[in-house]
Structure 1
Amino acid sequence: MKDMPQLGMGTFRLEGDEATSAVTSALKVGFRHVDTAQFYDNEENVGDAIKTSGLARSELFVTTKVWHENLGKNAFIPSVHESLAKLKLEYVDLLLIHWPYPGDDLTMEDYLGSLKEVKQLGLARHIGVSNFTIGQLEQAERILGEGEIYTNQIELHPFMQNRQVVEACREKGIGVTAYMPFAVGKVMKDETLKAIALDHDASPAQIVLAWMEKRKISAIPSSTSESHLAQNVDYSRVVLTADDLKRIDDLDNGDRIVNPDFAPNWD
C-alpha cells in the first residue's frame, strides 16, 4: 500500500470529460495520487480515468472529501458509499473533512466520530481534515486521538505560506498538503520565481514544487495540459540552493485566494 506521494493531481474545477481526460493524462505521465471531493462533482470522471488506466489499485493513492452538507450523522456514511460508487473503488486511501462545519447545530465530535467510523469500516485507509485552523486541529486531535489525523489540506503557495498552521501540524506529526500551490497561475508571472527558474532551466511551477518538497509539504496542483503535467512530475530534477529557498520564503505576503463566507476565522 502506498503512502501519500509528495505530488498529487488536483481536480478542483475540472468537470465532465475534461476531468476524465486530465486525470488520464496525469496517470499516464506518472502521477499516482489523485485528489477529488464530493463538492467537485467529478468523482465519477476520476473513477472512469482510474478504471481505464490499467494501473493496479495498490499503485494509486486516492483522496476524496466530505462536503459540509453531508457531515450529519444520517448523511455522512451514505455519502461516502456514494463517493466510492462513483469512484468505482472499495476504499479511498484518504478521506478528509473538506471544511470545518460552519453551523452550531452539529458538533465536531459528531462528524469526526463518523469519520473515524468510516476508517473502522475499511472504507478509508487514512483520515484527515482540510481548512482547519490551529484551534480546530487541537480540538480534532482531542476527539480522534494522537496520530489519527493524516494531513491538514490547506491553501499554501509562495505568497501565502500559512506558517503558523504548518508549524502546529509539524508539532503534532500531522502532514501538510498544499492546495492551489501555484496560486491560480500567479507563480508563473512572479519575477523572483521566473529568475530562479531560469537559473535551473526549469519552470516556475517546478521551482515551487521543489521548494515544497524541501519544506516537507505535499502538493496537489491542477492542470489539463499533458505537457504541464509531465513537467510537474519532473520537478524532482531541480536542486534548489539555500539562497533560492530563502528568496522563495521571502515571497510570503499573506495573499489568501480561497476565503468563502463559511470559512473559519483564519490563524
Structure 2
Amino acid sequence: MDKPTHRHVYVLSDGTARTCEAVLLSVLCQFTDVSVSVHKVANIRNLDQLREVVEDAATNQGIVVFSFVTPQLVEAIYSQSIYYAVPTIDVLGHVFTRVENLLKVSPMGVPGLLRPVHDEYFRRIDSIDFAVKHDDGLGLSTIGEADVVLLGVSRSSKTPLSIYLSYRGIRAANVPIIAGQQLPKEVMDLPREKIVGLVIDHERLVVVRRNRFKGQAFVPPDYVDQKNVSEEITYASGIFKRLGCNQVDVTSRSIEEAATDIMNLMRIRAQV
C-alpha cells in the first residue's frame, strides 16, 4: 500500500482555533515525509458552517482536528464525521473529561475565553519588538507607527521607559537629542501629541552618567562636565518648547512612576 505524500488537515474551533492549530503543528513536526495543507476554520457557531467544512474534508480525503467546547458542536461533528466517513481528532475532549472527573465540576462550554489572553500576549510581543527596533533613533522610516515617541538627552531613561511601556502593550520609540544637531525630519513630521520630552536636572544627570562609567579607567570628560551637561539640557528644553510637546520630569522618578505619567498623558490625549 502506497503511503500518501500529501494530506489535507482541517482545524476547526468555536473559538480562535489557535490552541488546536498549535497542538497540530507540534505533532506534524514528527511527520516530515508527508506534506500537509492545514485549513484553519475558526469561530464556528452553527451546524451549517460545520457541515460545509466536513463536506470539503470528505472531498479532499482530509482529516478533521477540532477543539469545540460547545456540547452541541461536539455532538454534531461526531455525527457528521460518521456520515461523511471523515476521520476526526478531538484535541480537548479527553482533557475536558479528565478534568471534569477530577474537579467534579462541569465545564462552562463557553468558546473564546482564552482569546483576550492570547490577544493581549501577542499585542505585547509586537510592542516589545517595535521598541527594540525603534530604540535610540532606529527605525525612523516606521516611527509614525509608534503610540508614543520619547525624546531626551543621553541617560535620561529613554530606553528603559520604552521597554517598560512596551511590556504594557504600548508601541514606544525613542530618539536622542544631541546638542547642536537637528532632529530627524521623520520626528519633526510627527503629530505633536505623540511626542514626550524627558526632562532631568543637570546635577542628577551628571551623577547618572558618572555611575555609567563607574569602575572604568576612562570617563569622557565632556560627557560628565557640569557646564556641558547643563548646555545639553538647555538645548533639549528649547527643542521641547519649539515642538510644543508634552514633557515628563524623570529627575526623581522611578521608571514605573515616569511611565505612569506618560501613560496618563496618553489617556488624556485619547479623551480629547
Q: TM-score range by the shorter chain?
A: under 0.3
Q: Which has the higher contact order (CA 8 A, sep 6+)?
A: 1
TM-score by length of 2: 0.25
Of the two, which has the highest radius of gyration?
2
